[in-house]
């Protein structure tokens, strides 16, 4: 579909997909062919998608688009195709001795029709990687991309319409009303990526149908810098992760925990990194703009509230780096924002980085654990024992040690949140499992030991029950 749809049309599209799936469920050959065609078609139109993202953002780094929305999708397809036969194979499971010589196995069955609601910040990656997982598991898919990146959404709709029949993959365009009706369809599974607030509404819409949901949400992801970790290295790696896509990343570090005596040196190291990475930042093709005016104004409001409450505000590389007309929001540090300011309470989703002074790593652990569990946690430390202490004490959706956001780039690792940061996982094998029913199968043998346990019960049954409940 290349135009917005109403509720009746949505239901018709869904029923068409369900009927097609019931008539012919994709086998291994079909799944492999679907993924191969997706890879070829995506590679052919990747430059078009990169240009669309650039137009939607006003300015988006070409290199970042190729890496985060291009390479990731291609690598995901390649991994899935190389492992799919093995993943689909039934897996033997042990049978308790009491039931021998019976056998048991797990079979991986497609669910049916899967819904995917994708966000605007990585509009290709976060739409197509779930699509890859769902197709690999043998499902048909309805995709709802974001209305905030309309050119990219239209380009993806055209790409997928040229590759797949609508009864197998279809794209639904439209705004919040369409998304709400979409979430209420009786999908066999629904994956949503977006804010925690909207995730709650999606879950509520899915609940009447008891639709299982995977929610990839957000939150405030902390970075802990140990007392003896090299600050230049920490600044470069955190700066790369924070300023990728101008901070419009769900797993971007949301605040830094560091000892008070190292705070100023860390600020200086970040300034040096920004100066080196983005010379002439206002005009740098490597620095992405904020997606729209509303988001820009929200970010400016976070900074101004903190400033009005007495916080220090440090703009990098200098105060003249921002350009509101082109939505260029310069990297901004807030070293001492009051705890009850919005910049300390809300997910930032932009190039603003609060810095919190803590006495030591144990104090940092306590700070993190006093707050909702984060989507990501970053710990910079050369001490293995202290790192283990952090990993043992904190629960997060994912962790990168001595780097930032790169755990998300590993297809062999599950990606997903915990608590208010989300539920469920995907990527690689974990995506295949999310969109499959792991169906347990018990195979009874010609001779069954359970014959000894049928009524009428006698002395042998009494003996066996007594033995089994000892």
Q: Before 317, cis peptide (omega within 30)? A: yes
Q: In sequence order, what are the residues at sequence separation of 6 or more whose Cβ sits closer than 8 angstroms to the Cβ of residue 47?
A: none
The active-site residue, picked from 76, 167, 216, 347, is 216
- Strands 103-110, 91-93: pairing is antiparallel
Name beta bridge partners: 311: none
Q: In sequence order, what are the residues at sequence separation of 6 or more whose Cβ sits closer than 8 angstroms to the Cβ of residue 54?
A: 60, 62, 65
**Angstrom distance (rounded) from CA 374 to CA 78:** 30
> Does residue 216 carry a catalytic annotation?
yes
CA dihedral of residues 210, 213, 218, 220 (deg, nearest 10): 70
The active-site residue, picked from 64, 76, 250, 347, is 250
Q: Which own/partner contact pairs does 70-73 have at CB distance under 8 Å and 24+ positions apart?
A: 70/46, 70/124, 72/125, 72/129, 72/409, 73/42, 73/124, 73/125, 73/128, 73/129, 73/132
Closest CA to 222 of 348, 94, 409, 388: 348
Alpha helices in 317-453 (DSSP H): 342-345, 361-369, 384-393, 428-434
CA angle, 156 as apex, 424 and 212 as ends, to 5°?
20
Closest CA to 124 of 84, 151, 162: 151
DSSP 258: E
Provide the phi-psi class of 419: left if phi over 0, else alpha when psi is between -120 and 50, else beta.
left
Indicate the burial class of 38 (C-beta count within 10 angstroms; 0-12, 13-18, 19 or more).
buried
Cα–Cα distances (Å) from 364 to 177, 218, 223, 385, in that order, read: 42, 20, 9, 16
CA angle, 145 as apex, 143 and 150 as ends, to 5°?
140
Terminal Cα distance for the chain, rounded? 63
Are 123 and 149 within 8 A, CB to CB?
yes
- Cα 161 off chain centre by: 25
| 3-state SS assignment for residue 424 | coil
* Sole residue written with tokens 């995907």: 426
Are 351 and 247 within 8 A, CB to CB?
yes
Catalytically active residues, by annotation: 216, 250
């Amino acid at each position: 579909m290349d135009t917005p749809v109403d509720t009746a049309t949505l239901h018709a599209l869904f029923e068409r997909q369900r009927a097609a799936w019931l008539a012919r469920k994709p086998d291994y050959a079909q799944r492999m062919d679907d993924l191969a065609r997706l890879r070829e078609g995506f590679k052919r139109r990747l430059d078009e998608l990169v240009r669309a993202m650039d137009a939607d953002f006003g300015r988006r780094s070409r290199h970042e688009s190729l890496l985060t929305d291009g390479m990731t999708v291609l690598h995901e397809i390649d991994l899935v195709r190389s492992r799919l036969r093995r993943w689909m194979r039934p897996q033997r499971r042990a049978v308790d001795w009491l039931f021998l010589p019976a056998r048991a196995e797990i079979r991986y069955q497609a669910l049916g029709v899967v819904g995917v609601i994708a966000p605007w910040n990585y509009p290709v990656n976060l739409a197509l990687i779930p699509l890859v997982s769902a197709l690999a598991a043998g499902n048909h898919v309805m995709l709802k991309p974001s209305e905030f990146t309309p050119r990219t959404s239209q380009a993806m709709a055209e790409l997928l319409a040229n590759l797949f029949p609508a009864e197998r993959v279809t794209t639904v365009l439209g705004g919040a009303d369409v998304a709400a009706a979409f979430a209420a369809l009786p999908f066999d599974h629904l994956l949503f990526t977006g804010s925690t607030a909207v995730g709650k509404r999606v879950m509520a819409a899915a609940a009447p149908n008891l639709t299982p949901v995977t929610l990839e949400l957000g939150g405030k992801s902390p970075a802990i810098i140990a007392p003896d970790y090299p600050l230049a290295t920490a600044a470069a790696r955190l700066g790369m992760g924070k300023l990728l896509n101008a901070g419009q990343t769900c797993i971007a570090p949301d605040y830094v925990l560091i000892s008070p005596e190292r705070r100023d040196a860390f600020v200086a190291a970040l300034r040096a990194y920004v100066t080196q990475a983005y010379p002439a930042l206002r005009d740098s093709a490597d620095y992405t703009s904020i997606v729209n005016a509303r988001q820009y104004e929200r970010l400016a409001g976070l900074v101004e509230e903190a400033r009005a409450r007495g916080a220090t505000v440090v703009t990098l590389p200098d105060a003249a780096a921002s350009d509101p007309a082109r939505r260029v929001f310069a990297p901004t540090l807030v070293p001492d924002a009051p705890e009850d300011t919005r910049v300390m309470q809300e997910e930032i989703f932009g190039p603003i980085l609060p810095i919190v002074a803590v006495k030591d790593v144990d104090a940092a652990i306590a700070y993190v654990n006093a707050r909702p569990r984060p989507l990501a946690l970053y710990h910079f430390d050369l001490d293995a024992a202290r790192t283990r202490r952090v990993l043992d004490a904190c629960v997060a959706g994912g962790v990168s040690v001595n780097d930032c956001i790169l755990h998300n780039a590993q297809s062999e690792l599950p990606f997903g949140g915990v608590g208010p940061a989300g539920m469920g996982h995907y990527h690689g094998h974990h995506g295949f499992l999310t969109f499959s029913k792991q169906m347990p199968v018990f195979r009874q043998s010609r001779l069954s030991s359970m014959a000894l346990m049928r009524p009428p019960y006698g002395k042998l049954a009494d003996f066996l029950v007594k033995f089994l409940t000892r």
